[in-house]
Amino acid sequence: MDKLNREQQIAVDTLDGPVLIIAGAGSGKTKVITHRMLNLIKHGTNPHNILAITFTNKAAREMRDRVNTLIASDKSLNRPISSSERPFVSTFHALGVHIIRSHAHDLGLKKHFSILDRSDSKRIVKSAMEKLGIDPKKFDPGFILNKISTLKGDGVTLDNFSSSISDQKKDFINSVTAQIWQEYEISMKREGSLDFDDLLAKSAGLLESNEDIRRHYGNTWKYIHIDEYQDTNRIQYKIAKLLISGQELNGQKTRNICAVGDADQNIYSWRGATIENILNFEKDYPEAKVVTLERNYRSTKIILSAANDVIKKNSLRKEKNLFTDNVDGEKISLLISYSENDEARAIADTARELIDAGTKPSEIAVLYRANFQSRAIEESFIKKNLPYQLLGTKFFERKEVKDVISYIRASFNRESWGDIARIINTPPRGIGKVTLAKLASGHHDFPSAMQVKIDSFWKLLDDVKKEIWKSKPSNVIRFIIKETGMENRMQNTDGDNEDRLLNVRELVSVASQYDDIVDEDSTPTEEGDMPYPIRTFLENVALSGDQDEMNESKDAVRLMTVHASKGLEFDAVIVAGLEQELFPFKHIDEENMSLSEREEERRLFYVAITRAKKKLCLSYAIIRNVYGREKISEPSEFIADIDPALIDDTPRETVSGAKAIFIDF
């Protein structure tokens, strides 16, 4: 406790009842949550009665490792705690998987149900549209999928949605969406799969409809912590309320919830997050203790002053002012370039200067508002031979990686026609779409030559399943890429196949992390289920996010969107494209931004600059090519929000060959 400041100690010491911790950027919230869990254990709470939920796999791993280290190293604990007796730390979606898997029978699912990624879901939506005779050119499958996803995130069921459509002619889009949604659900049920949104919707449904299940988890998790509470959507908020409603002690209801977050870092409204959840916490829990963490341990005084200048312009927030005992630090730099290509060169040159001055490449991040900005920046890094890693192209969404995963899933689920369609001709076997359609419809009478091919494919899946039962996950992946012929084909063809082979071999390395894990529940594997290590591997693959793509061992500059940078920190941060209508971002089809949209953009900029520990550089271009046309841009209003005294106005020499003005503020 002597390592905590006064406010952190109050948060750690307040154990019973609802607690709201307003945690500013870099204020040590993970430290507070983990020490609070340790303190609960020291006061007699069983570790397995503690739940902590956060938003990214990376954050969950870090929190889990830190609390385990605290427990293992604390000599004052009066009893030994086994490795299986630990707080349950996970993301909301991983929690959903845990609840659904534990009660799969109630939902008519097998324990090893498949989790669809976005491309799988989009494929099924498109197939549903074709079956219904709805032209995908008139109704974009991605748009329909987003609409379904938003409705699920808001806690709306298909039945609720369908019954709300009063006039199908007037409400044509919703009527079409309802038809596609129904067919989408039928297809998922047939394949024994759930989409990402179902992991929350189905678990919330179980908790709401079954009092025994609700009380079971209320009695299991007597103390609940929710990190990044400002980023919860309606269904996540509902899950939290349902879990809390099941808590009891000696026949009396308890409300032991610790919500940790910062309204100033609410940046995910586009995926359903609602800032009202954190702003209304004290209305939901009038007896709540509120603790505000304002001392920042990450950034210099100048960077924090800029952050405070920016965010104080917002009205939807809880008042706070970050401060630090760190040094004043360098003033903020500004790069003003002629075009986006000149800006990219200037950013690459700035990164080179930082590296030459002693900053590790992995301690430098280039952040941008939209993914399309990465193209010019990546090209400049390549030309200048700078080490970089681009986040956003997910490893587990690469075709060859998904092929291997589909072999595993199909070997246990012969009804997973999406997986079967993906791999039945990977590598080519001469089994066409017509034959596949007949197989899916239950047809068994094929010409002998075709039947041989089909039987060979089913036998291969049987062999994969046998290998899964007798081998570790890494050996299973080796078996698949060799026995299916994938490896041989990639080795003996030209083009991009060398990269694809490297990717599937990298998957072996990823799978090896699961080789020695054991079932924490120590429950026997049911008939028809799959071994715990491979099951856990598949779950984590399905739940992976942008930050999981970051190779911690690779010493390279990180290129990513501001959204992807949430929760990370770097010695030096370069924020690119600070121009009106790009950052703050204005959608093409809207005339004016609403107040809530403008405030969220400002929060996003606040998140960007508070990722920096020592050095912050802001950049914009005077002319940018937008949809094939050059457009003159105004500097972002956010730059003007910062006190000019925080910016270094020393001019510096223009880089040769670039149409750019460089002014270091």
Residue type, 236: Q
* Whether 64 is catalytic: no
* Whether 30 is catalytic: yes
Helices (H), 267-339: 276-279, 281-284, 301-311
Catalytic residue among 8, 14, 30, 91: 30
Catalytic residue among 228, 343, 403, 579: 228
Residue type, 110: K
Q: Is the peptide bond before 427 cis (omega within 30 degrees of 0)?
A: yes
Per DSSP, the three-state class of 629 is strand
* Whether 29 is catalytic: yes
CA dist., res. 553 & res. 6, Å (int):
36
Q: How is residue 603 written in tokens?
A: 């929060």
- State how far the alpha carbon of 494 is from the alpha carbons of 370, 483, 500, 502, in Å: 33, 21, 11, 14
Q: How is residue 93 written in tokens?
A: 């979606």
- Give the Cβ contact number of residue 123 at 10 Å: 18
CA dist., res. 515 & res. 520, Å (int):
14
Contacts of 219 (CB under 8 A, 6+ apart): 246, 247, 248
Q: CA-based angle 427:428:434, to the nearest 5? A: 130
Per DSSP, the three-state class of 332 is strand
* Whether 467 is catalytic: no
Q: How is residue 145 written in tokens?
A: 């999928």
SS3 helix, strand, coil % of the chain, rounded to 5?
50, 15, 35
User: Shortest CA distance to 323 belongs to which of 291, 303, 301?
Assistant: 301
Catalytic residue among 8, 56, 265, 324: 265
* Whether 228 is catalytic: yes
Per DSSP, the three-state class of 619 is strand
Catalytic residue among 202, 422, 611, 614: 611
Is there a contact between 302 and 326 (Cβ–Cβ < 8 Å)? no
* The pairing of beta strand 333-339 with beta strand 660-664: antiparallel
Q: How is residue 149 written in tokens?
A: 């996803």
Catalytic residue among 7, 14, 29, 198: 29
Catalytic residue among 7, 117, 227, 363: 227
* Whether 611 is catalytic: yes
* The pairing of beta strand 257-261 with beta strand 557-561: unpaired
Which residues are known catalytic residues?
A: 29-30, 227-228, 265, 611
